Amino acid sequence: MYQFFSLRKSQKDKNTGTIIESIFDDRTPVSRKSVGYKIPVKLWDGNNEKVKVNEEVDYILINSRIQMLKSQFSQKLKTQKRFDHQTPTLIAEKEICFIEFCREILVKDYDSIATQNKYTTIVNSMVLFIKERYNLDRLPIEILRRFDFIYEYAIFIAKQTNRIKDPTATKKNNTRFNYIVVIQTLVRKFNQHHPHLETIKTDHYIIQVPKKNLEKIKSRMLKKDEIDKIINYQEMDGKKRIKTMEGKYQFLFQFFTSGLRVSDILLMNFKHFVDGRLELIIQKNDDLLSVPFSFKSAKLLSYFYPIEFQRALELNPIGQLNLSVIELETILNIHTEKDFGSLTVLDVVNLNNHLKRNKFDDYSEEVVIIDGLIRRMESMVAYSMCEIMGEKEPGHVFDYLPYEEFKDLKIFDKKRLNRDQIKLLTRGRSRYNSKLRRIGRDLGIKELSSHVSRHSFAYHMLESGASIEEISFALGHATVQQTQGYLKQFPQKFADKAIKVFEDSFEL
């Protein structure tokens, strides 16, 4: 058993990489995981497995972390060479069968014969499922890690119980939830007994599929390529098409602003823009929702409010940043036609893209530094845009509803709509969705509607690694159970591991 550290280059930027800890048993990989630090490739000392002395990153902190992991591994080898599920075992994941682990753990951890028998029945059901679904006699951990494993198992159990034609069939069908809870417990025990392996996620196990029509669940969300299609949707001639473009930017605004409900979008007031956030009372459940107002949201609003966005850009040139010596030298060494201090974030983005496309000189170091400047400038612009919007007179941000009919609604009080207001809101929603249907027809996206934006936001949040609780809070759901109702409509396959935060997956 041995351990070593290496640098894995980024797929997008070959000049940076992530420090990886690898553990091998002879030639068999036991685990590979990130140490949690991303550094320029040139700073990595592969021979000594440490970060070189430099001024760009905190090499002392990173090297201390590496040394600590080396000490922990050395100590572990001294106290235990191999250990079974009572004492975790450093064996390759591909050698482990989850079924065998469950059977052994039932004998060791459960004294009650009744509990052993009950859990054995559940384990045996997994054996049948694996045989039918994968034609295997064992359950590899690789399959157990799949996000859709528990979903497919739930469908299998429902089919098995529905075959029973006695009076207790309904009751037995309902017990599949208990089956899943038991499997969740066993998986968590597996995680505890195998700390050297990557943790198997079980947060989604409690999501229940419908009791009827299990195989007719309809996914109402957009994948990344479909979102990209909408982002790249181009304006066409004609008044009708120009109105359609408004639907595009409103849809994307919903998507990048925590998947706001269409009713909250239509009723959104300028006074909801507060201190760099959107704060509003949710029309559906009367709860207060506070979500960050990001640069992407500000950029999308610029379609409707170009003057306000331009003002926000001009208020936050690069000259407003408190630059370090390295950042200042980097910018001054790059020739620009404009005055350095007046460059807006869009100017800096264009400059950085130009450096990335340069095939004759190596600007990799400059690109990394400028990327950091861009993020800081974007935050400043978003905050200024939020302030500018909030300073406007009370009124609706989008023009679907006649404000005179709604001006009696208090900004931060519960919204009690009268019959006429509800009719107007329904008509506004219909107008909005008609624009989206037109976009959907042009792009080949079926049933595109305002609520698809909300489901898509939840899907990509989950895929990027957010927990159900975090998604529930972002969506403004009253309960986590409501969020679970969303998640069970999603496709069966998700990324096993979050790679990037949600918004970094997209380019506007």
- 10-residue stretch averages of pLDDT, the chain, 508 residues long: 84 85 72 84 88 86 84 70 42 80 85 76 90 89 85 83 52 64 87 83 64 44 89 70 85 92 91 91 79 93 94 92 84 73 88 82 84 92 95 92 86 75 89 91 88 88 80 80 67 46 70
Which residue matches tokens 């010596």?
325
* pLDDT value, residue 93: 72
Burial label, 41 (beta-carbon count in 10 A; 0-12, 13-18, 19+): middle
CB neighbours of residue 156 within 10 Å:
19
* pLDDT value, residue 365: 85
Q: Is the dihedral of CA 10, 15, 20, 26 positive or negative?
A: positive
* pLDDT value, residue 112: 64
* pLDDT value, residue 251: 94
Q: Is 477 helix (H, G, I), strand (E, B) or coil?
A: coil
Structure token pair of residue 86: 């009572």
CB neighbours of residue 401 within 10 Å:
18
Q: Is 237 helix (H, G, I), strand (E, B) or coil?
A: coil
Residue 46 contacts residue 7 (beta carbons within 8 Å): yes
CB neighbours of residue 363 within 10 Å:
19
Residue 393 contacts residue 270 (beta carbons within 8 Å): yes
Of 254, 335, 341, nearest in space to 291 by CA: 254
* pLDDT value, residue 343: 87
Helices marked H in 391-488: 419-443, 450-463, 468-475, 480-487
Residue 368 contacts residue 15 (beta carbons within 8 Å): yes
* pLDDT value, residue 294: 93
CB neighbours of residue 395 within 10 Å:
13
* pLDDT value, residue 91: 56
